[in-house]
A and B are shown apart, each in its own frame.
Chain A
Amino acid sequence: MDNYTNDNTARRYKAHVSILGTTQLHLRNPYIIAWWSAAFPGFGHLLLSKYLRGYALFIWEVVVNVKAHVNSSMIYSFQGNIDMAKEVLDTRWLLMYIPVYLFGIWDSYRTTVDLNKVYLLAEREEHRFNSFSIGALEINYLDKRNPFLSVMWSFFIPGLGQLYIHRILTAVFTIIWLVAFYYYSHAQEAVVLLFLGKVKEATSVLKPEWFLFIPSHYGFAIYDSYINTVENNKLFEKELRNHLTENYQSECFKILKGQKVK
């Protein structure tokens, strides 16, 4: 059940509160979004709440990267071992990686620029949007959450920050893939070995090509949960102020010009 039934009278809506999360348009820096697409194809689109494109690009990245050994090649390159960097790449998979990778960056940049324009128009139109949703499975509404708590939970496990702000689609996707990356990279085993002081064993147990997915995963989860908490808070404030202006500014209200009394 929603508190607003869309009758499609708006040309543009700036937000939508649904069972699965709060989707909103807001101003974003296209370079920052493009950067996240460069860090990991799909992240830029997930930040824009364009989930299907994001999921598709992300899964593509994992499959083709692992098959073509792009991560291994990156590791050798950063180590200065150019011969091995060339050697390790699987040319049966490599070439198809490049266009999709660049498309992800370009498309998320382009979409951000477009959505910023759409946001400006939607913001001026100020049409009512759904701001409360309750159903058999979930409840979602506008309110204020603490951005630092989002960051803290994302630090513990990427995806928990998104759960905190009811960004279910990103939360589930992020957590599932985190488990996959942890499992295949043996990172948790390495951390246990580090706690035991066995640094050499920790390094040797890691699977580098899977381990290299993890830093971007953390970075994205923290950034996404932080900015979305901030933007959700701003949306809450705007919505409440609109509500007050519409309902509590009666024309017959007269200000009393008396004295202040105790």
Chain B
Amino acid sequence: MIHLQLFSTFETTEFLEIAISTLEKKGIKKESIFAVPLDNRKEDRKIFDTLHRSDGTSLIDIGMGLATALSVIGASIGFKLSLGPIYWGLIGAFVGFVVGFAIRLFMELVVKKKKRILKGKHSEIILIVDCEEIQAELVEDILWSHFALGVAKVK
């Protein structure tokens, strides 16, 4: 019986767990699956949090705070102004958010000077699957169809 190993990398998503569960259902033993969660690079911070990743650098915290403050003040003064409190409240919120956001952006980009090199998707977990040669194609299909970022077969 010739054994093969399939090396693959994944993002941290539910699909990875579904892939593992599918492999087990197709007869791959738990002991033949090896997962290594990678530690993320420290300075690899993105400005915006997305569905795929977030690092606690929240650019909206000061923005939302200032938006609320200026919105209250804008709405108050707006009762006297021709556009009225709703428009002035919205203008206040917008200005506050932009100013707060700009402050945080400035802090991130200029003050902290963190490097932001990597773009796009990141390999976060290495998954190695040990299987017999006849199963290799099936395993590879399963890995790809659950959004593996890369797959390699080693014999």
Contacts A79-B80, A244-B35 given; does A35 touch B65 at CB 8 Å:
yes
In the assembly, what is the distance between CA of A66 and CA of B20, in Å?
58
Binding stretch for chain B, among A48-56, A138-146, A169-177: A138-146
Residues on A with beta carbons closer than 8 Å to the beta carbon of B56: 27, 230, 234
Contacts A215-B89, A223-B61 given; does A260 touch B31 at CB 8 Å:
no
Kindly state whether residue A165 has any CB partner on chain B within 8 Å.
Answer: no
In the assembly, what is the distance between CA of A256 and CA of B11, in Å?
23
In the assembly, what is the distance between CA of A252 and CA of B30, in Å?
11
In the assembly, what is the distance between CA of A257 and CA of B71, in Å?
63
Query: Which residues of chain A (198-218) have a CB below 8 Å from chain B?
Result: 199-200, 202-203, 206, 208, 211-212, 214-216, 218
Binding stretch for chain B, among A11-19, A101-109, A111-119, A186-194: A186-194
B82 touches A199 (CB 8 A): yes
B72 touches A245 (CB 8 A): no
B67 touches A219 (CB 8 A): yes
B154 touches A230 (CB 8 A): no
In the assembly, what is the distance between CA of A191 and CA of B85, in Å?
11
A255 touches B51 (CB 8 A): no
Least CB separation from B34: chain A residue: A253
Interface readout for A22-48 with B: 1 if CB under 8 Å, 0 if not? Answer: 000001010010011001000000000
Least CB separation from A254: chain B residue: B130
Interface readout for B1-38 with A: 1 if CB under 8 Å, 0 if not? Answer: 00111000000111011001000000000111111110
| Most chain B CB atoms below 10 A, which of A190, A200, A227 | A227
B154 touches A258 (CB 8 A): yes
Kindly state whether residue B139 has any CB partner on chain A within 8 Å.
Answer: no
Q: Name the contact of A260 in the complex, choosing from B52, B76, B92, B154 (C-beta under 8 A).
A: B154
B155 touches A256 (CB 8 A): yes
Kindly state whether residue A261 has any CB partner on chain B within 8 Å.
Answer: yes
B125 touches A215 (CB 8 A): no
A240 touches B68 (CB 8 A): no
Residues on B with beta carbons closer than 8 Å to the beta carbon of A124: none
Residues on A with beta carbons closer than 8 Å to the beta carbon of B36: 249
A39 touches B153 (CB 8 A): no
In the assembly, what is the distance between CA of A243 and CA of B62, in Å?
35
In the assembly, what is the distance between CA of A212 and CA of B152, in Å?
60
In the assembly, what is the distance between CA of A247 and CA of B130, in Å?
15
In the assembly, what is the distance between CA of A230 and CA of B35, in Å?
25
Kindly state whether residue B145 has any CB partner on chain A within 8 Å.
Answer: no
Kindly state whether residue A237 has any CB partner on chain B within 8 Å.
Answer: yes
B85 touches A208 (CB 8 A): yes
Least Cβ distance of B91 to chain A in Å? 11
Least Cβ distance of B134 to chain A in Å? 14
Query: Which residues of chain B (117-133) have a CB below 8 Å from chain A?
Result: 124-125, 127-128, 130
Kindly state whether residue A222 has any CB partner on chain B within 8 Å.
Answer: yes
A-B contact pairs, 28 of them (CB 8 A): A32-B61, A32-B62, A74-B72, A75-B79, A77-B76, A79-B76, A146-B50, A147-B49, A187-B86, A191-B86, A199-B82, A199-B83, A203-B79, A206-B84, A216-B68, A216-B72, A222-B60, A222-B64, A227-B58, A233-B51, A234-B56, A236-B12, A243-B17, A245-B35, A248-B35, A255-B128, A258-B155, A262-B153
